[in-house]
Structure 1
Amino acid sequence: MTLTVGKSVMRIDAVAKVKGEALYPGDFQMPDMAFMKVLFAFRPHAIIHRIDTRKAESLPGVLAVFTAKDVPNNEYGLIAPDQPVLCGPGSTKSYADHVRFYGDQVALVVADSEEIASEALRLIDVEYEDLPVLTDPRLAMKTDALLLFPDRDSNVFCHYRIRKGNLEEGFKNADVVIEGYYQTPAQEHAYLQPEAGISYVDEEGRITVVVGGQWTHEDQEQIAHALAIPVDRVRVIYPAIGGAFGGREDMSVQIILALAILRLSERGIRRPVKIIWSREESMFGHHKRHPYFIKTRWGATKEGKVTAADVEIIADGGAYMYTSTKVLGNATLMCTGPYEIPNVNVDSYAVYTNNIPNGAFRGFGGPQGSFAAESQMNKLAEALGLDPVEIRMKNLLREGSLLSVGTPLPPGVSIDRVVNACALQAGWVQTGKGWKKPELAGDSSSSARRGLGFACSYKNVGFSFGAPENCWATIELRGSDTIDEAIVYHSGAEVGQGSHTIFLQMAAEALDLPLEKVHLVASDTAYTPNSGSASASRMTFMAGNSIRGAAKLALEKWGNEERPAVATYQYRPPKTTPYDPETGKSEPNFAYGYVAEAVEVSVDLETGQIKIDKVVCADDVGKAVNPQLVQGQIDGAIVQAAGYAVLENFIQQDGLPITRTLSTYLIPTVLDVPGEVDSVVLEYPDPIGPYGARGMGEMPYLPLVPALIDAVHSATGVWFDQFPLTPERVFSALESTAR
C-alpha cells in the first residue's frame, strides 16, 4: 500500500513559485494585446445623469469605451444580483444609474496601452447628482432612513431570529448577568496579487477569462448571466493565484474582461484584453470584512453554568449584498459560542450602507461572533471568580448537545478535548478545585506588564443553512497492464493553501499509486467539473470525498479492462437546512472544526504598545493530510488574526476610504508576528471526512482576538470591547482608568 496521506510532501507548485516561473494572471502576455482601465465613481452615493465618452473615444490608440448601455444584462451578485456591472444611464436594469460606493465601476476604456487608457479615462465627462450618504448601519436601518435601493422598502436586507427556551426564565435563574456592546472593524484582505486578468476568444470560440478567483464555475455563470449568453460560451481558467481569503469570491474584473471581448468581437476586433488593478484600486474596489455591532447579555449561576444569552447583531453590509447573508448566518450561530445554553434569543440584521461592500473573509462571520461570545465568557469567569478554562469546561458542547438552533451537532464533537489539550500545553493545571491558570513571571522594573488569555471556537465546514453542496471529480487511468499515469480533473482553486498538493496526495492514496504517477488538471471550466468554492474550510473535505469516489469507480473500470479508465463522481454531503424564520431551528452544517488558543502578551503601560509573545493553538483537523501545510495554515491564520486584533485599522469617512494604500493601512510584517506559535495538531477523525479530515483553514483565526483581549485584561485590568488595539486606543484606555 502506497501511503501519502499524513506525509509532509513538498507542494507541487513550490519550485515554480520560488523560481518565479509560476504565472499569475498579471503575468500573462499575448500577441497584439490591448489594455483596459476602469473609471471608478470616486464618490459614495450619487445618480449619474450623463456620460460623455466622445473625447475619450477620439483619442488615438483607444479601441473602445464601454458604459452601462453596453452591458446586455447589467447585474450580478453571489446572493442576489443587486449590483450593476457598470453604473450609469441606458442600463437594462432600474436604478443602475445610482452609484452606491466609492469603488462602483462607471466606464471601461480599452486601448493599445495602459498609458493611453489612463489618459482616456480623464477625458470621460460624467455628470453626477450627489445624494445623502449613509455609513452607519444602525441609522440606515431606521424606518425613515433614505433608501439606497428605491425599489426596496428597507435598507435591512436580511434578518435572522433564534428563539430557544425561555429567556426570561433563564435570566431569573442566573446569579450573575454580564452585558456587553462589542464593535468589530472592517479588514482588508491585502492578498499579494491585486486583481488582474486577461481575456480572449479561444480555439472553440469561447470567451475565455484567465483570472484569480475561488470558484471557476460560479465566475463562469455570473459572466454568462451578465452577458446574456449561454454558459458554455464562457470559459474561466485560474492560473497561480496570489492569495484570496474570501476576497476573490465576488466579481472584480471577471465580467468586464469578458464584456470587452464580447463587444470588441462584435466590432470585428479579435485582440486579447488585459487589466491589472493598482494596489489602491484593489483596496477600494473589492469588499472587506464586515464591521459588526453586537449587543449581548449573558447570565450564569454561581457555579458557572450559563443559563441565558440574549444577542442583537447589526452587520454593515456596505453598498451591495455580496455574501452578507451567509456571513451573518454564521455569526448568528456562533455568537453564543461552542456552548450549550438552554435559553437563547438572537436577532441579527444585515444592512445596506454607502461603505465599501463587505463580504467573505477568512472565518466568514465566525470571528465577529466569537469575539462577542468569548469576551462574555471571560467576563463571566471574572465576575464569578472562576478560571476561564474551568467555566468553559462546564458549558462546552458535547455529543448530543443541542445548539442554539435546537438541533445537535453532527457526530465527532471534540471541543472539550481541544480545550483540554490547549490548556495543558499553555501551562494550566487541574487541581482538586478545578483548572488553574499559570502565573506569568514579570519584571517589576519594566513598564511592560504580561498577561495570559484564553478562548475557544468552532466553525462550520462547508456551505451552510440549506445551500446546495456538492463537488465533482474525474479521474483518468492510463496504461496497458499496469497503471502508468493517473490524471485528476478537479476545479478546486489553489489560492495559496496547498489544495492542489492535497488533491494529489488523496488521489495517490485512493489509487495506491506513487505520487509521481498522479497528475492534476485543475481550475479550467473547459475540462474540470464543478467543485464548488475554495471557501468555508470545505475544499479538502469536499474534494477528498469526490476524489475518493472517482478513484473507486475508475479502479472498477480498470478491473473491467477499460483502457483508459475514466470515471466521474459527484460527492454530496448530508443536507443542511435554513433557519426557521420564527424560531431559527435548523440543521445548519454537516461538519465542524474545533479550536482553542491561549495567548501571552506584553503591554507597555507607557506607550500602549502590545507585543504578542506566544500563541498556543490546539486545532482538531481530523486528519493532517499534509502536516506541514496544516502548520502553515495555523501560522498564517494567527498572523492574519493578529493584524486584525492590534494593527489593521481600515478607515472610511463619509463613505470615502482614507486608508487605501499599504502605507496608510498597516498589515503585519515579520517584526509584528508572535514571538512563538506552539501548534497542537489534534486528529480526532470526522466520521464522514476523507480519511477523517476536517476543514481547518479558518479555525485558528477565530479565537485569537478574544484570547488576546483577555490577555491584555489580565495584564492591565482593562477590558476592550472594540479593536484593533492600536497603541493610541490602549494608551487612552489605560490613561482613563488611571484617572
Structure 2
Amino acid sequence: MSYIGQSVQKIDSVSKVKGEAMYPGDINLPDQAYMKILFSDRAHAIVEAIDTSEAEQEPGVIAVFTAKDVPVNEYGQIIIDQPVLCGPGSTKPYADRVRFIGDQVALVVAETEEIAARAVKLIRVTYKDLPVISSIDDGLQEDGELIHPDHGSNILNHVQIRHGNAEEAFKQADVIVEGVYETPAQEHAFLQPEAGLSYIDEEGRVTVVVSGQWTHEEQEEIAHALDLPLDQVRVIYPAIGGAFGGREDMSVQIVLALAAWRLQQRGINRPVKIIWSREESIVGHAKRHPYRIHAKWGATKEGKVVAAEVKLYADAGAYAYTSTTVMGNALINSTAPYEIPNANIDGYNVFTNNIPSAAFRGFGGPQGAFAAEQQMSKLAEMLGMDPVELRARNVVKEGSILTVGTALPEGVSMPEVLAVCAEKAGWQMTEQGWRRPETPAAPAGSNLRRGRGLACAFKNIGFSFGFQEECSATIELYGDAEIEKVVFYHAGADVGQGGHTVLKQMAASALGVPVEMIETHYSDTATALNSGSASASRLTMMAGNSIIGAANQALKQWKNEERPAKASYRYLARKTTPFEPMTGKSFPNIAYGYVAEAVELEVDIETGHVHLINVICADDVGKAINPDLVKGQIEGCVVQAAGYAVLEDFIQRGGQVLTKTLSTYLIPTILDIPDQVDSVILEYPDPTGPWGARGMAEMPFLPLAPAVTAAIHDAVGVWVDRFPVTPERMLAALGKLPE
C-alpha cells in the first residue's frame, strides 16, 4: 500500500477552512497574564538607564523585566551576538546598546493586554545616541562607527572563490558584459503575526507554545539564555500561519520563557501570552537581505561563457542571524546554474543599523540568480543569440564542476528542465538551435507593450557548507497478529505547506498500512527527536529518509515478534564541506533542485505598470509525493516572487522603517497576481531522496525576477537592473521620470 504520488487531502484543511485550527494567538489558558515588549525605537544608541518604577506602580502590572533579569543575555542561531534584552545589568559586553529599532529593551507582564500596553509607555529609558550606519556603503567605511565593537569591523565576513584563471580568460572573451544589480529587502508578511504562550508544565519544564520552524533549535536557544538544562525547556508548535524563513530566528520565544520562569520564582505560577501587532511584526523580525552585486562576465562568439568576476555586498542589518549561510547560497548562484571554468567571486556581509536580515524563501538564491540571469540575457543580446540557446550551451549537466571546484551531486536535470520550459513557452528547436517565438502584439493604438522572458536556476536542498544534516523519526507499532495501530512522532514543522500531511503519507507508505491507521504527534520537543528545520527545501527529503529508516527498524522488530515494536531512526545525510579560505573550494550542498520559468507580461508605457499575464514554471521535484501540494507550493511561490519583483518596496532610511504597515508596504492581492500560472511538475529522481523526492518549495522563487526583467526588455527595450519594478521605477527606466 503506497500513498506516494497521491494527492491526499491536507490533514488540517477542514479545521482551517472552518476556523477551528488553533494558532498560538487563538490559545488561551486559565488565569493567563499578558505581555508587551518595549522596543528601542532607536537605530543605534547606548542605554544608559532604565526607570521602570512608574510602570511597576500601574494598577494591574504583575512584573517588569529588563536585561538584569536574563541569566545569559545573548542568543543567535549561527553567531551568538544579540542580547535578549538590551540595557545595563548583564555581563555580556556591549549588551547595553541597541542596534536597530526593533531591539527589545523591557517586558511588561500585566493582567490584561491593554494594561501591559499602557505600562510599556511608562518605562523611561535614557539613551545616548550613536552614529547610524544606514547603508552598505556606510558600513564599508573603515573609520565608521562600529556596530559591534567586539567584532572589530562592520564587515561580518568575507568569502572568496578563486576558480581557474579569470584574468587570462577575459583576454580570450569576444564579448564582455558588466552590470551592477540591486535586490531589495522583503517583508515575510506571513498571515499570522508572532504570538505565543509560556507556562511551567506538569513536569516543571519551562514550556513555550509558539510558531517556529525548528523546535529543537529554539529549545537550545531558550535553555542557553535562561542557563537551564535542555530537558527543562519544552517547545510546542500548534498551527503555524506561514513562515518562509522568517520564523527561523527568535522573536518572542526567549522572552516568553523568561517571563513564565521568573514569575514562578516569585511564587506566581501563571501562563503568559503575547500577540504582536502587524506593525510590531514588521519592525521586530528580520527581512530578506538586500544585495548589491557587481558582475563582469565574458563569453566567446560561439556562446561559451569563459570567465566571471562577481562582487556581492549584503546588508546584514544589525545582527548576524543566518547571513553567512545566505551569502554562501548567493555566491554559488551568482554564476549558476552554468559551467564557468574561470571565476573570481567575493562576498561581503556588512553590518548596518537596519532591521536584521535573515532567511527568506530561497535565502541568497534569488539575489545571486538575478545577477546571473541578467548577465546571461545581456550576453545573449550582445552575441545576437537566442537567450535559451545561450543558456543551453552553458547549463550544468551530470558531472559539471561548479566554481567551488567540485562536481554537482548526481541527479542533474537542468538541461531537461530548461528544454521543457522553453517548449512550453513556445520556443522551437531548429537546426541552428533554440529560437524564440514571436511575442504577441498588444492591441493597436494602446499604451501596452508585450514581452516574453525566460530564466533558470538551481536551488540547494538542505543545510550547507559543513553542517551535518540530520533528521529523526520515531514509530511505534501495536497489535496482535496484525498491525492495528501506528503511533508516529516527528518534530518537523508544518508552516502551511502541508508538511504534516506528507510526513503521514510517507509513514503509511513505508509501513504499508492505511494512512488512517496512523496516530501522529508532531512538533513537541517532549515527545519527538530533533528533525532539523522546516527550511532550505529540506524537510521532505530529510524526514522521508528518517521515516523509511524508522519504519524498516520497526517492521523488523514486528517480524521478530517484538510487540509493541518501537523504533527511532536518526538519518544522517552525506557530509558537506565549508569554503576553503583562499579558494572557496567546497562540496557545499547534498542535493539540488532545478527550475526554469518563462514570463509573458505587459508594460503600460504611460503609467509604468507591469502586469504579469502568464508564468510557466517547470520544476524538477524528483518525485511529487503529493502533486496537489506541490502545485500549491509552485503557485504560492510564484505569487510571492511576483510581489518581490514588481510590487513590494520595503523602505528604510536612517535606520527607520517608512513602510511599517500593510497600507504602505504593499503585498499582492487578487488583482496583482499573474493571470495564469502553469505549474509543470517534472520527476527526475534524486538518488538520495526518499522515493526519489527532492525538496522544491523555494525553487520557483529564484528565476522569477530575472524572467520578469528579461520580458520587460523584450517589451520596451530597456534593462531594469534594480527591483521591485514599481511604476515609478519603470517610468524612470523609460526616461519619463528622474531616477
Same fold (TM > 0.5): yes
The residue number in structure 2 matching 1:583 is 583
Deviations 1:444-470 (A, max 9, x none): 321100000000000100000001210
Deviations 1:79-117 (A, max 9, x none): 111000000011121110111000000000000001111
Aligned with 1:475: secondary structure? strand
Measure how far apart 1:485 and its partner are.
Answer: 1.4
Aligned with 1:375: secondary structure? helix
The residue number in structure 1 matching 2:731 is 731
Deviations 1:303-323 (A, max 9, x none): 110000000000000000000
Structure 2 counterpart of 1:582, one-letter code: M
The residue number in structure 1 matching 2:328 is 329
- Distance, in Å, in 2 between the alignment partners of 1:121 and 1:423 is 57
Q: Does 1:299 pair with 2:298?
A: yes
Structure 2 counterpart of 1:285, one-letter code: G
**CA distance 1:76–1:738, shift in 2 (3 Å):** closer
The residue number in structure 1 matching 2:188 is 189
- Distance, in Å, in 1 between the alignment partners of 2:145 and 2:122 is 33
- Distance, in Å, in 1 between the alignment partners of 2:3 and 2:538 is 21
Normalized against structure 1, the TM-score is what?
0.99
Aligned with 1:580: secondary structure? coil
The residue number in structure 1 matching 2:43 is 44
Aligned with 2:735: secondary structure? helix
Normalized against structure 2, the TM-score is what?
0.99
The residue number in structure 2 matching 1:425 is 424
- Distance, in Å, in 2 between the alignment partners of 1:440 and 1:612 is 14
Aligned with 1:50: secondary structure? strand
Q: Mean alpha-carbon deviation: is it higher for 185-194 or for 555-564? A: 555-564
The residue number in structure 2 matching 1:277 is 276
Aligned with 2:15: secondary structure? helix
The residue number in structure 1 matching 2:618 is 618
Q: How does 1:59-208 map to 2 (within 5 A)?
A: 59-208=58-207
Aligned with 1:179: secondary structure? strand
The residue number in structure 2 matching 1:702 is 702
Aligned with 1:735: secondary structure? coil
Deviations 1:318-360 (A, max 9, x none): 0000000000010011100200001000010101100000000
Aligned with 1:295: secondary structure? strand
How many residue pairs match? The answer is 738
- Distance, in Å, in 2 between the alignment partners of 1:441 and 1:147 is 54
Aligned with 2:273: secondary structure? strand
Structure 1 counterpart of 2:599, one-letter code: V
Measure how far apart 1:139 and its partner are.
Answer: 2.4
Measure how far apart 1:10 and its partner are.
Answer: 0.1
The residue number in structure 2 matching 1:9 is 8
Maintained 8 Å contact 1:100/1:148:
yes
The residue number in structure 2 matching 1:597 is 597
Structure 1 counterpart of 2:423, one-letter code: L
- Distance, in Å, in 1 between the alignment partners of 2:220 and 2:105 is 22
The residue number in structure 1 matching 2:221 is 222
Maintained 8 Å contact 1:551/1:567:
yes
**CA distance 1:34–1:738, shift in 2 (3 Å):** closer
Structure 2 counterpart of 1:524, one-letter code: D
- Distance, in Å, in 2 between the alignment partners of 1:70 and 1:92 is 11
- Distance, in Å, in 2 between the alignment partners of 1:153 and 1:737 is 42
Measure how far apart 1:735 and its partner are.
Answer: 2.6
The residue number in structure 1 matching 2:568 is 568
The residue number in structure 2 matching 1:239 is 238
- Distance, in Å, in 2 between the alignment partners of 1:663 and 1:373 is 33
Structure 2 counterpart of 1:583, one-letter code: T
Measure how far apart 1:697 and its partner are.
Answer: 0.4
- Distance, in Å, in 1 between the alignment partners of 2:558 and 2:380 is 61
Q: Mean alpha-carbon deviation: is it higher for 135-144 or for 638-647? A: 135-144
Q: Does 1:267 pair with 2:260?
A: no
Aligned with 1:258: secondary structure? helix
Q: Mean alpha-carbon deviation: is it higher for 694-703 or for 115-124? A: 115-124
The residue number in structure 2 matching 1:396 is 395
Deviations 1:654-682 (A, max 9, x none): 00001000010000001111011111110
Measure how far apart 1:158 and its partner are.
Answer: 1.1
Structure 2 counterpart of 1:77, one-letter code: G
Measure how far apart 1:738 and its partner are.
Answer: 12
- Distance, in Å, in 1 between the alignment partners of 2:737 and 2:19 is 52
Structure 2 counterpart of 1:150, one-letter code: P
Measure how far apart 1:488 and its partner are.
Answer: 1.3
Maintained 8 Å contact 2:557/2:565:
yes
Maintained 8 Å contact 2:731/2:737:
no
The residue number in structure 2 matching 1:628 is 628
Q: How does 1:498-509 map to 2 (within 5 A)?
A: 498-509=498-509
Maintained 8 Å contact 1:650/1:659:
yes
- Distance, in Å, in 2 between the alignment partners of 1:553 and 1:420 is 42
Q: Does 1:637 pair with 2:628?
A: no
Percent identity of equivalent pairs:
65
The residue number in structure 2 matching 1:360 is 359
Maintained 8 Å contact 2:468/2:573:
no
Q: How does 1:246-265 map to 2 (within 5 A)?
A: 246-265=245-264
Structure 1 counterpart of 2:416, one-letter code: R
Deviations 1:19-58 (A, max 9, x none): 1111000011111000000000011000010000011111
- Distance, in Å, in 2 between the alignment partners of 1:38 and 1:92 is 21
Structure 2 counterpart of 1:48, one-letter code: V
Maintained 8 Å contact 1:138/1:314:
no
Structure 1 counterpart of 2:329, one-letter code: N
- Distance, in Å, in 2 between the alignment partners of 1:379 and 1:738 is 24
The residue number in structure 2 matching 1:554 is 554
Deviations 1:269-323 (A, max 9, x none): 0000000000000000000000001001000001110000000000000000000
Unaligned runs of 5+ in 2: none
Aligned with 2:487: secondary structure? strand
- Distance, in Å, in 1 between the alignment partners of 2:730 and 2:136 is 26
Maintained 8 Å contact 2:728/2:737:
no
Structure 1 counterpart of 2:261, one-letter code: L
Measure how far apart 1:518 and its partner are.
Answer: 1.5
The residue number in structure 2 matching 1:513 is 513
Maintained 8 Å contact 1:71/1:226:
yes
**CA distance 1:179–1:274, shift in 2 (3 Å):** same
Aligned with 2:593: secondary structure? strand
- Distance, in Å, in 2 between the alignment partners of 1:291 and 1:501 is 34
Measure how far apart 1:736 and its partner are.
Answer: 4.9
Structure 2 counterpart of 1:731, one-letter code: L
Q: Does 1:435 pair with 2:442?
A: no
Maintained 8 Å contact 2:732/2:738:
no
Measure how far apart 1:494 and its partner are.
Answer: 0.3
**CA distance 1:737–1:240, shift in 2 (3 Å):** closer
Aligned with 2:331: secondary structure? helix
- Distance, in Å, in 1 between the alignment partners of 2:693 and 2:721 is 35
Maintained 8 Å contact 2:163/2:343:
yes
The residue number in structure 2 matching 1:673 is 673
CA root-mean-square deviation: 1.0
- Distance, in Å, in 2 between the alignment partners of 1:369 and 1:3 is 39
Measure how far apart 1:519 and its partner are.
Answer: 2.3
Measure how far apart 1:737 and its partner are.
Answer: 9.8
Maintained 8 Å contact 1:537/1:696:
yes
Measure how far apart 1:424 and its partner are.
Answer: 0.4
- Distance, in Å, in 1 between the alignment partners of 2:707 and 2:117 is 47
Measure how far apart 1:480 and its partner are.
Answer: 1.1
Aligned with 1:116: secondary structure? helix
- Distance, in Å, in 2 between the alignment partners of 1:62 and 1:118 is 10
Unaligned runs of 5+ in 1: none
- Distance, in Å, in 2 between the alignment partners of 1:223 and 1:355 is 25
- Distance, in Å, in 2 between the alignment partners of 1:678 and 1:311 is 33
Q: Which runs of 4+ in 1 moved over 3 A?
A: 736-739
Aligned with 2:734: secondary structure? helix
- Distance, in Å, in 1 between the alignment partners of 2:632 and 2:541 is 18
Aligned with 1:440: secondary structure? coil
